Structure 1
């Protein structure tokens, strides 16, 4: 009798589950607030559709979405709850509204698992407060104050390449630029903004290669984090002695970074509680570090000053400042080496200013600026969908920039609370703004038309959520490009476009899996 009761309960549970599934499916397809938006039925029905192109077809959903637009038009439903718009004319409405707030989509933010960072804050209001406490340290004025330190890091990079030039051995630019950008952030951002420890990745190229490899391996897991957050949740619930051996090396590196940040934070908090006054020059901000500003902030509540929150903030500032600038530099040097006429024109322009030219002087060079803009465009910044959520109805009407077919220019009303995204791939390959979009063509950024195109540059996002470190990245890109072009003649070695192309989306543009990186032979000039 008891066994029959158990089987009856199981049968009832299965039937109820099936009924709930059917009811849920009918609702998503026919009664959901987004049911009127075009798109594949499977995408509207289940997140497994996204999973398939994220994980089974590794990092391919961003490309598949572009194909779906060719079939369904400029606005489509890409998950049961989210829309994607392939219309660069809608960019400011989604990402840079003049007045209205925009939240980020928490479902997508769980890929990185650092909710305490300013870049991974979902709430508009919380983000605004966190950013206000950090902004003075990332202002152009403060970066200019630190320019001599930036120059020293660039000189160290040049010394490493000069060593290879003297020995006649190839340089793996993917490794050394990643290590340089990572070390640049540690030594410029952390030493002057956060804490006292420094890294020394450029001194050990094997370590630099391992660092990049581990980081790439870690990024390969971002889609699993999004679709199966319980896996990292479970690992984090275990004692480190059990979970650490199961972790990929990149995650172990990340934990080490968190530990370094935590140690320094505890020291800063202890010094502040004891009333100890630092002796470091404070510069234009009037504060010794970011954390001095945050801990003294009157706009941040006590929870925002907790050890865990500030630990995540510090780690994310370092991580976010490594990938994008390193990727832009890699794209830039691959293409100028693959196109000698671009390199020659760039070198001729650099010869019009002194070798000691400052960042602000270099910014005045139109062709150098154009080369950097094009490198940023083809690096694509963050390639993942970064949806925004509006709290007012939005009307979408196809603009003159639409390139995908649409039977009629139909308008759609998007209900409040709808996550809407435009990927950087979609924005940066719009052929009405960027003809022959995958060609590296700096001239598209010159003259009046070039200035007009800059409003569509999306590598650093837009509006109030624009990348906090854009000025710091600018100093890195200008000073590094000028120094390497002036000091070295480089040729590509066992490298082709597949080593820099955008083939997979793992939060950033990822080349062919298994790529050894961009390698060059260098000669000192």
Structure 2
């Protein structure tokens, strides 16, 4: 009887807590006067419902668009967060470090499960220190040192595609592009210990793609229960391989990177003690990779621990491999679907690549007209980052028109909204590479809102490496004149229908495929 009374009291207390919390959020919260549905203001389960329970999941991105149509450009979308849909305001929210302080909203920082990496860093000041160390590693000058390696990987992929088409009559692009991008990332960022060589191991590529897809599809759930990944990564890999085998592969990657970080620390300590005396061993120690860059920095010792550096390296691979490979897939689809553009691009590439094995520098490719235009239009129309990016301004209130947003409030915008804004880009869902030609009188204006890699202090670190991949790989593909799209439907295989941080296509997709076609006259 006492147990029943205790449970009854517990239910009563909890119910009272819920009622008082809802009343506070609706009528006394600092955001109580902001427009938006009362249910969203009362509980986070409003968002959870659309992202987790509405098929095919990740549907709050569509509900968010509806809310803005009903309530206007500024909406309270959950008890704590404001979302703004107004491209002109992006320069106010996502500022450079010299123009303001923006901390990351903790639930967003926890999404990848790496609290000690740049992506998982909440504090603006801590992020700036960590980011400042690895920025030079991803500079254009440093990326240029990997051009030969990028070309080797790209040519290996072309060889693989040719072999697959010869055997099957067609090839699906996404696995091959993922192998190319991942091998390139690993080659640029790390020394020999971590090299998967996915371009030569198709079974491993299939496993890696499946692991990424499963992780992506879990994102709508993980966003709401952001304790899950940090907890999962603490489990032994063999346990994950039994319970969540695809996450087990990602956990193994994280473990391997942490082990290499520990090895880098050991080598650095050996070099400091003079243990490496031969020219070859000295060269190995001095060879710059991501960990060497961190170890040779002025960061304190706590920032040079193996776990901390391992989280940084893990973020680089997870953030860079999937997004860039998706961009390559989309660019191939859109260009090969436009015969006139395809011919112009081919003719332009012949001017700098007279032979199929020509190897123009990245700078030469960037000086072309149609290739940069096609790449920019792909980055724009893809609008691949579908998740909003919430930050807080800890030191001062923010102002949007007549609204005063209290300091410390998480505020977000969605990059996809800006890239597909019809007020900036005429017919935004139409692929029009000519938007980016120098002759376009509107070029300066639209360039202001070309933000596929975000903006401000949290802008994508690996942007230059991603662009190098896009330029070199697509130059080799479009220099050919014997490829065409096969059995691919835009609505099924290209268009984004759900938010998994980066947008995902329909579950019915069959992938983007190409095959040989008779050479054009």
Contact 2:485 2:514 in 1 (8 A): yes
In structure 1, distance between residues paired with 2:169 and 2:199: 16
Contact 1:62 1:423 in 2 (8 A): no
Residue in 1 that maps onto 2:389: 386
Deviation of the 1:108 alpha carbon: 1.8
Question: Secondary structure at the residue paired with 1:254?
Answer: helix
Question: Does residue 1:341 correspond to 2:340, yes or no?
Answer: yes
Question: Secondary structure at the residue paired with 2:100?
Answer: coil
**What's the Cα RMSD here?**
2.2
Contact 1:161 1:522 in 2 (8 A): no
In structure 1, distance between residues paired with 2:304 and 2:164: 46
Question: Secondary structure at the residue paired with 1:395?
Answer: strand
Residue in 2 that maps onto 1:272: 268
The one of 504, 515, 520 aligned to 1:510: 504
Matches within 5 A, 1:167-316: 167=167, 169-191=169-191, 196-232=193-229, 235-236=232-233, 238-249=235-246, 251-275=247-271, 276-277=275-276, 279=280, 288-298=288-298, 300-316=299-315
Residue in 1 that maps onto 2:125: 125
With 52-61 and 117-126 compared, the bigger mean Cα shift is at 117-126
1:92–1:289 distance in 2 versus 1, CA, 3 Å: same
Deviation of the 1:234 alpha carbon: 5.2
Matches within 5 A, 1:465-504: 465-497=458-490, 498-504=492-498
In structure 1, distance between residues paired with 2:168 and 2:482: 12
Residue in 2 that maps onto 1:95: 94
In structure 2, distance between residues paired with 1:523 and 1:69: 46
Contact 1:96 1:463 in 2 (8 A): yes
What do residues 225-245 of structure 1 show as CA deviations (whole Å, max 9, x unaligned)? 222245445545555544431
Question: Does residue 1:110 correspond to 2:126, yes or no?
Answer: no
The one of 442, 447, 454 aligned to 2:447: 454
Residue in 2 that maps onto 1:152: 152
Structure 1 length-normalised TM: 0.91
In structure 2, distance between residues paired with 1:455 and 1:280: 48
Contact 1:280 1:288 in 2 (8 A): no
Question: Secondary structure at the residue paired with 1:36?
Answer: coil
1:237–1:155 distance in 2 versus 1, CA, 3 Å: closer
In structure 1, distance between residues paired with 2:231 and 2:475: 47
Which has the higher relative contact order, 1 or 2, with Cα contacts under 8 A spaced 6 or more apart? 1
Structure 2 length-normalised TM: 0.91
In structure 2, distance between residues paired with 1:280 and 1:514: 52
In structure 2, distance between residues paired with 1:243 and 1:363: 44
Matches within 5 A, 1:307-456: 307-354=306-353, 355-391=358-394, 392-397=396-401, 411-446=402-437, 447-456=440-449
Deviation of the 1:136 alpha carbon: 1.4
Question: Secondary structure at the residue paired with 2:195?
Answer: coil
Contact 1:502 1:509 in 2 (8 A): yes
Contact 2:113 2:230 in 1 (8 A): no
Question: Secondary structure at the residue paired with 2:352?
Answer: coil
With 130-139 and 199-208 compared, the bigger mean Cα shift is at 199-208
Question: Secondary structure at the residue paired with 2:111?
Answer: coil
Deviation of the 1:222 alpha carbon: 1.6
Question: Secondary structure at the residue paired with 1:33?
Answer: coil
Aligned length, in residue pairs: 502
Question: Secondary structure at the residue paired with 2:515?
Answer: strand
What do residues 403-425 of structure 1 show as CA deviations (whole Å, max 9, x unaligned)? xxxxxxxx201000111111122
1:336–1:90 distance in 2 versus 1, CA, 3 Å: same
In structure 2, distance between residues paired with 1:524 and 1:116: 53
In structure 1, distance between residues paired with 2:329 and 2:21: 47
Contact 1:331 1:378 in 2 (8 A): no
Question: Secondary structure at the residue paired with 1:491?
Answer: strand
In structure 2, distance between residues paired with 1:493 and 1:238: 43
Residue in 2 that maps onto 1:403: none
Deviation of the 1:435 alpha carbon: 1.7
Q: Which consecutive unaligned segments of at least 5 residues does structure 1 have?
A: 398-410
Question: Secondary structure at the residue paired with 2:442?
Answer: helix
What do residues 312-333 of structure 1 show as CA deviations (whole Å, max 9, x unaligned)? 1111111211112111111111
1:130–1:228 distance in 2 versus 1, CA, 3 Å: same
Deviation of the 1:339 alpha carbon: 1.6
